[in-house]
Amino acid sequence: MPSAAADASAKPANSRSRVLLASLVGTTIEFYDFYVYATAAVLVFPHLFFPAGDETTALLSSFAVFGAAMVARPLGAVFFGHLGDRRGRKTTLVAALLTMGLATFLIGVLPTYAVAGWFAPALLVILRLAQGFALGGEWSGAALVATENAPKGKRALFGTFPQLGAPIGFIIANGLFLIIAALMPSEDPSRPSTAFLEWGWRIPFLFSAVMVIVGLWVRLNLVESSAFAKTVKTGQVRKMPLATVLQQNLRELVLGTFYMLATYVLFYLMTTFSLSYGRAAIDAGLPGLGYEYTNFVLMMIVGVVFFGVFTLVSGPWADRFGRRKTLIWVTLGIAVFGLSWVPLLAGGFVGVMAWLIIGFTLMGLTFGPMGALLPELFPANVRYTGSGISYNVSSILGAAVAPFVAVALWSWGGGSPFWVGVYLTAMAAITLVALLLGRETKDVDIEA
């Protein structure tokens, strides 16, 4: 056990501004990196990293690589969770951020299929797995920094700040892609320009290095939370946190995993699948909404603003009414929303905007409370491991397959989004059952 961790209680506590900034900055960078890949998976990688042929097959292959990262996330949760529960939150968060930043930067310098053949997508898969491995340790650490340093009665509010990294990262990533696309206009609206495909797409990946430097500067100034310091002082640190959480908190692991299921499916349908569906030509093999890339991303950004606003709104609601009650009502809303896709998307521009705004609003309301709920399920000595595993195993069940399943259902339905919406409703029903079986956690002792 390092002496720094043992002496944590002797150091001054983190200020509220430092806590909020450290939890927000890191997840913003992590989600920025993920969104950069998600956008490239739709716009660039089908053209550059897979052999020419059927466009739908190339898109599905690109999404499959996108989903591969979700498989690595539970492994990252176990690895970084072990470090976080034994060595402390600060060191672990710095390591996760460095791993994510390096993997993203290296994607920006990869050779394409035309240059390296199948070696190019193989390297892409490896670096994508590294991204997922890093994100497996990032979220739970950021959530713990926020909730373990929160004042009494405001844990859910503080827990929304790492969650804000998702909408902010989306806006930065897609805003940068929009700027680059505007500087490199294409004559064919359905395909990026030659300059963009040759080198412009690399800029957002390389830019992540600058953001990582900022994130490291913020996180290196953190001190350990009193919850972890108390765990060290009382000798409660576990030699094998994974074994302990599996033996003593298996029910919480399972419930936490399914708490996140509807959130993940909604998240990736609204950010990844929607970009494909919104841009697909009305008369294409898989007909969509037919919007140009720039116009549809701007529409999505409007929706993501609602995502951010209602992420913050969800915190005080969850602190006042409880995490479980808040999420039960929101999950019911997600289920109804899934059944409303066809009438909304048939309503022209106004209907599409309503679809985006409602979907992203529900996303904020369901994502926000998770920053407090999942950490509260577990005792301090296995909290990093337990919350990280629940969050990231759910990514396999939800996020890893959501874009792929959505494209398959979109194709099976002859271009109609009806079955994609039904899929979302079914996942919401599973989450609802888990919430009904769970317990309220807003009054638990976070240092126990």
Looking at residue 430, its pLDDT comes to 97
Q: What is the pLDDT of residues 126-153, one digit of tens each?
A: 888 898 898 888 888 889 989 988 988 9
Looking at residue 12, its pLDDT comes to 43
The answer to which of 78-82, 100-104, 153-157, 234-238 has the lowest mean pLDDT is 234-238
Looking at residue 307, its pLDDT comes to 97
CB atoms within 10 A of CB 82: 21
Give the pLDDT band (50/70/90) at residue 414.
confident
Q: Is residue 448 part of a domain?
A: no
Looking at residue 11, its pLDDT comes to 44
Looking at residue 5, its pLDDT comes to 44
Q: Residue-wise over 149-182: b if at least 16 C-beta within 10 A, else e?
A: bbeeeebbbbbbbbbbbbbbbbbbbbebbbebbe
The answer to which of 30-44, 130-144, 304-318, 360-374 has the lowest mean pLDDT is 30-44
- Determine the distance from the C-alpha atom of residue 113 to the mean position of all C-alpha atoms in its chain, rounded to a whole number: 28
Q: Pick the residue with more confidence: 70 or 288?
A: 288
CATH of the domain at 315: 1.20.1250.20
Host domain of residue 325: 3-437
Q: Which conformational region is residue 142 in: left (phi greater than 0), alpha (psi within -120 to 50 degrees), or beta?
A: alpha
Position 66 pLDDT exceeds 80: no
Q: Residue-wise over 228-247: b if at least 16 C-beta within 10 A, else e?
A: bbbbbeeeebbeebbebbee
Q: Is residue 219 part of a domain?
A: yes
Most confident of 54-63, 285-294, 301-310: 301-310
Give the pLDDT band (50/70/90) at residue 79.
very high
Looking at residue 447, its pLDDT comes to 74
Q: Is residue 447 part of a domain?
A: no
Q: Which conformational region is residue 414 in: left (phi greater than 0), alpha (psi within -120 to 50 degrees), or beta?
A: left
Distance CA 252, CA 245 (A): 9
Position 353 pLDDT exceeds 60: yes
The answer to which of 76-85, 198-207, 246-255, 278-287 has the lowest mean pLDDT is 278-287
* Percent of the residues in the chain that have a pLDDT greater than 90, as a whole number: 41
Q: Is residue 18 part of a domain?
A: yes
Mean pLDDT of all residues in the chain? 86
Q: Is residue 417 part of a domain?
A: yes
Looking at residue 167, its pLDDT comes to 93
Position 9 pLDDT exceeds 50: no
**Count: domains in the chain:** 1
Q: Is residue 373 part of a domain?
A: yes
Looking at residue 288, its pLDDT comes to 84
Give the pLDDT band (50/70/90) at residue 436.
very high
- Half-sphere exposure at residue 181, Cβ-oriented, CA atoms within 13 angstroms: 23
- Determine the distance from the C-alpha atom of residue 387 to the mean position of all C-alpha atoms in its chain, rounded to a whole number: 14
Q: Is residue 154 part of a domain?
A: yes
Query: Residue 404: which of 38, 72, 126, 130 has the closest Cα?
Result: 38
Looking at residue 4, its pLDDT comes to 44
Query: Residue 93: which of 217, 192, 201, 207 has the closest Cα?
Result: 217
Helix H or strand E segment including 254: helix 250-259
Return the structure tokens found at 250.
Answer: 């298996």
The answer to which of 76-90, 304-318, 391-405, 433-447 has the lowest mean pLDDT is 391-405
Q: Is residue 98 part of a domain?
A: yes
Looking at residue 141, its pLDDT comes to 87
pTM across the whole model = 0.85
Q: What is the pLDDT of residues 241-266, one digit of tens each?
A: 999 999 999 999 999 999 999 999 99
Q: What is the pLDDT of residues 358-390, one digit of tens each?
A: 999 999 999 999 999 999 999 989 999 999 999
Distances (CA, A) of 274 to 126, 154, 424: 26, 34, 13
Looking at residue 348, its pLDDT comes to 92
